[in-house]
Structure 1
Amino acid sequence: MKKHYYLLSAALLLTGAAHAQGTELFFSEYNEGAHQPGLSYNGGASNSTGNEKVVEIFNPTISAVNLAPYSIRRYSNGIPLGSSLMEEERLMRRTGANVLNPQSTHVVANPEATLLDITRVANQFSAPRQNMPVSTTTSPNIVQVGGTVWFNGDDAMALVRYPSGTAGLPNVSAGIIIDIIGSIGEQPLLANGNVGGNWSGTNSADGTPAVFVLSANQSIMRRGAVSGGLRANPKPQNVPGSNPPTRNPGGYNIADQWVAYGSAFTGAGGTINAGGQLYNRLGEHLDYTGPNGVYQSTITSTLEKFNANISVYPNPTRGTATVEIKDAKVGSVVVLNNLGQRISAAAKGQGQEKLTLDISGLKAGLYFVQIMSTDGQTKIYKELVVQ
C-alpha cells in the first residue's frame, strides 16, 4: 500500500538575543497542586476536583498589548513540535477589552479550580478537555484540541504569538513560540523510571541545602531579573533514552529562571500539606526588576524572512536531504530527534548555498532540522520525514 505523509511545519522559535528584553510578554507564574478530589480547600464553599492549576503571563512593556495574537500550548507526554495532539487556545479575557496593560498580568486557570486565590484573579478559564472536532460554540478560544491548563508537571507549556494578529490564523504552523516551560518533546520520568515526573532543579542563588524548584505540587514564579521568554527549545532535562533518568549536562533546569514560593509538601520527610500550598502571588509580578521596554510590534520580520529563504527537500526522503539557502546567513544545520540522534552540517554563511545531509544512518520517522543564523540570533526548525 502506498504511504502518504501529511507534513505539518513545526512552530517557529526565535532566540531571545534577537530582541531587546522587556519588550514582549512571557510566563511569570505556574502553579500545580496536590489537592485531593472531594475535599474543600476554600472554606467549604465547594469541593476540589484536584485541578488547582494555573499559569500567569506578564507584560513588562510600557505599552498596552492586544492579546488577540497570543495563545498558550500544552505539549503533553513528550509530544514533539508539530504534533496534531498539541493543545492550544487563545488568550481571551473574560471581561473588558482583550488587552493586557503595562506591568500587568493575565491569569489563565483550570476551569475546575476552586481555590479563592485562583478564582478571584482569574482573567480566563481554560477550555475543558476534549478531542477534535471541537465545538466553537462551547469552546470559542480553542485553536487545536483543548485543555491547555490540565498539566500534571511533566508537560511542556508554550506561549505563542501569531504574525497575522489573530491566534490560530492562518494555521497553527504560523505561530511563533516566544516562551517555553520545560523541553518540548521530552516527558520527564520519576527517579525510578516510571512516568509522572516533573521539571526540576536547583539554583545556588537559593542557598544551601538545595531548594528544589518543581513543576508539580508547587507554586513557582519567574525570578525577578528575567525580562524575556525562553524562545529556543532547551536541551532535554534528562539524557534521552536513559531509564532511570540521568541528568543531561547543559539540559533544561527550571530553577535557572524560576523560584518556588509555595509547596504542597512540608518538612524534610515531605509530609503532604496540599492546603498549605500558597497561591497568593497570582495576579501580580511585583518582584520584576528588569527593564520596561517598548513593545516589539514587528518582532517576526527577521524570523519570517529567514524561514522563507530556507527550504529542505525532498520531503519525505531517504539517504540524503538537501538544505537550500537563499539570501540567508546560516551558521549551522543540525538534524535531531527526541532520542538524541544528531547529524550536523557546517554552513559557510555565504547567503547562497546548498548543503547535503547524509541521513542514511537514521531510522524511519519524524525529525527536525534546526537551522541557526551565523550571529546566533535566529533559530528555526523545519520538519523532515525519513522513510
Structure 2
Amino acid sequence: MKHFLTSLFILLSVNLSQAQCTDLFFSEYIEGWSNNKALEIYNPTNQSIDLSAYSISRYSNGGTSPSTTQLSGFIEPFSTFVIGLDKRDPNGEGYEAPMWDGYYTYTDSITGEDITTYNSENDLQSKIDLFVNPIYYFGTNPDSAAAFPTSLYFNGNDAITLEMVGGTGAVIDLIGKVGEDPGAAWTDDEGNYWTKDHTLIRKSTITSGVTGNPITFNPTTEWDSLSVNTFINLGFHDCDCFNNNHLVENTKSINVFPNPSTMQNITIKNNTAIQSYSIQNKLGQIILHKYVNNLNTIEIPAPNIKGIYFLSIKDLYGIKAETIIIQ
C-alpha cells in the first residue's frame, strides 16, 4: 500500500506539471552590491538546450528599447545555467569593482601583516557559467550600443526578459514590467524593496515563464526573497517539473525514520547531499518546503495533523520520493 501511494503521487505530479515544463525560465535573480549581478536560468525539460538560440534583454528605468545579449553554451536537462556580469579585475575600482570571489584581505592590527581569508558563501565568481558585458557603453551610437550590450547592468528598476533569438523573438520569461519605472525597485504590498539589494528565488511551484507584460508586477507572487549578496543557492533549483526519468523512488538510498511517526521530528538519510525537501498532503498542497545546506542527514519537523503525506528530496542526481505516515 505504501509503495502504491508513493507511485500514485509521482504519477499525479508528472501529469500535472508536464504541460508547462516545456521551456527555459529564470530561476534566480541576484541584485547585489556593486557588480554582484547574476541571473540563473533553469531547464525543466529532459533535453539539453543550446543557449545560442536565446538572449537576455534589459529595459532600463521604464524604457521600451532594450539592450540585448545573445547567450552561448548548453544547459543540461533539469539543470541551471548562471550568467554573470564580467567584472573580474581584482584591482578594479568604482564601476569596475570586481564581482565578489570570496577572498578578503585585511591588515592585522598587531603584526601589520596582510592576511587573506576565503569564504565560499561570498564567492559569486565561481558560480558563474557565462560572463557577459565587460564594457559599459555610455554613448549614443546605435552600432556601438549593439556591440557593447549592457543587459547585466540591471538595478532594481530594470525589467529583464529571456527571449528567443531571431524569428519572432518571442519572450519566454520576464522579471518586472516593461515600460514601467517603479522608482528604486518593485516592492511588496508593504512597500519593501524586492528587486533591489536582494536575491530572488523562483518558487518551486512555478513551471513556466511569464510570456506577456503584466498589468501589475508583484514579485511576491512567483518569487521568494533572500537578503542581499546571498549566493549559496546558485547552481541548482527546486522545481515541480517532475519527469519520469528524473523523479526516482529509491528506498535503498533514502532512509526516513521513524515512519510511521507520532508527530515527532523525522530524520532523513540519503546517500548523497540533500539540497532541499518538500512535504505535500494528499491534496497535493505543499505544507513545508526548505533549502538545506547539502547535508546527507537532516532532521525535519513532522506534520502536526495525523494522515498520509508525501516527502520529496532533491539531491545532485534528481528527486526522490517517500510516503510518510503521521499517527
Q: TM-score, normalised by structure 2?
A: 0.55
Instruction: Choose from 232, 245, 260 the match for 1:280.
Output: 232
Would the aligned equivalents of 1:21 and 1:291 in 2 still touch at CA under 8 Å? no
Matched letter for residue 30 of structure 2:
N
Q: 2:203 aligns with which of 187, 210, 223?
A: 223
Provide Cα deviations, 1:70-120, integer angstroms capped at 9, x if missing partner. Answer: 00000001112xx2xx1000112xxxxx21100111111111242233210
Q: CA deviation at 1:144?
A: 6.6
Q: CA deviation at 1:143?
A: 5.5
| Structure 2: runs of 5 or more not aligned | 1-17, 88-97, 102-122, 246-327
Count of residue pairs the alignment pairs up: 194
Q: Which residue of the other structure, out of 176, 182, 204, is the alignment partner of 1:182?
A: 176
Write 1 or 2 for the structure with the bigger share of strand.
Answer: 2
1:114 paired residue number: 99
- Mapped to 2, the partners of 1:229 and 1:144 lie a distance apart of 28
User: In structure 1, the residue corresponding to 2:68 is in which secondary structure?
Assistant: strand
Alignment match, 2:78: 103
Q: Does 1:200 align with 2:200?
A: no
Match of 1:152 in 2: 155
Partner SS for 1:107 = strand
Q: 1:293 and 1:78, CA in 2 relative to 1: closer, same or farther beyond 3 A?
A: farther
Question: Counterparts of 1:29 and 1:51 in 2: how far apart (Å)?
Answer: 16
Contact 1:90 1:143 in 2 (8 A): no
Residue 25 of structure 1 is matched in structure 2 by 24
- The answer to whether the 8 A contact 2:185-2:193 is kept is no
Q: 2:200 and 2:217 mapped to 1: Cα distance?
A: 16
- Is contact 1:71–1:160 with CA below 8 Å preserved after alignment? yes
C-alpha separation between the residues in 1 aligned to 2:42 and 2:147?
24
Which amino acid counterpart does residue 150 of structure 1 have in structure 2? Y
Q: Name the residue aligned to 2:131.
A: 125
Read off the aligned partner of 1:107 and give its amino acid letter.
V
Task: Give distance in 2, aligned partners of 1:281 and 1:186.
Answer: 29
Instruction: Report the AA paired with residue 234 of structure 1.
Output: P
Distance 1:89 1:256, change over 3 A: same
1:154-173 alignment, distance < 5 Å: 154-162=157-165, 169=166
Distance (Å, rounded) in 1 between the aligned partners of 2:154 and 2:82: 15
The separation in 2 between residues aligned to 1:232 and 1:144, in whole angstroms, is 27
| 8 Å Cα contact 1:22-1:290 kept in structure 2 | yes
Q: Secondary structure at the match of 2:124?
A: helix
1:279 Cα deviation from its structure 2 partner: 1.0
The CA deviation string for residues 134-171 of structure 1, in whole angstroms up to 9 with x for no partner, is: 56xxxxxx967511111110000000013xxxxxx46x
Q: Shift in Å at residue 20 of structure 1? A: 2.8
2:69 and 2:220 map into 1 onto residues whose CA distance is 27
- Structure 1 position 66 matched with structure 2 position 50: yes
CA distance in 2, matches of 1:223, 1:186: 24
- Label 1:68 to 1:155 Cα distance change in 2 as closer, same or farther (>3 A): same
Letter in 1 for 2:187: S
Gapped runs of 5+ residues in structure 1?
Answer: 1-18, 36-49, 93-97, 136-141, 163-168, 190-196, 203-209, 236-250, 265-276, 295-387
1:328-347 aligned within 5 A: none
Change (3 A) 1:32 1:223: same
Q: Is the 8 A contact 1:52 1:110 kept in 2?
A: yes
1:212–1:255 CA contact under 8 A, matched in 2? no
RMSD: 2.5
Which letter maps to 1:103? Answer: F
Match of 2:222 among 257, 262, 267: 257
| CA contact 1:133–1:145 (8 Å) conserved in 2 | no
Aligned partners of 2:201, 2:77: CA distance in 1, in Å?
Answer: 18
Letter in 2 for 1:78: G
TM-score, scaled relative to structure 1? 0.47
Indicate if the aligned counterparts of 1:61 and 1:293 stay in contact, CA closer than 8 A: no
Question: 1:124–1:255: structure 2 CA closer, same or farther, 3 Å change rule?
Answer: same
Residues 213 and 260, structure 1, Cα contact 8 Å, conserved in 2: no
Q: Which residue of 2 aligns with 1:244?
A: none
Q: Percent identity?
A: 33
Asked if 2 retains the 8 angstrom alpha-carbon contact of 1:201 and 1:254, the reply is yes
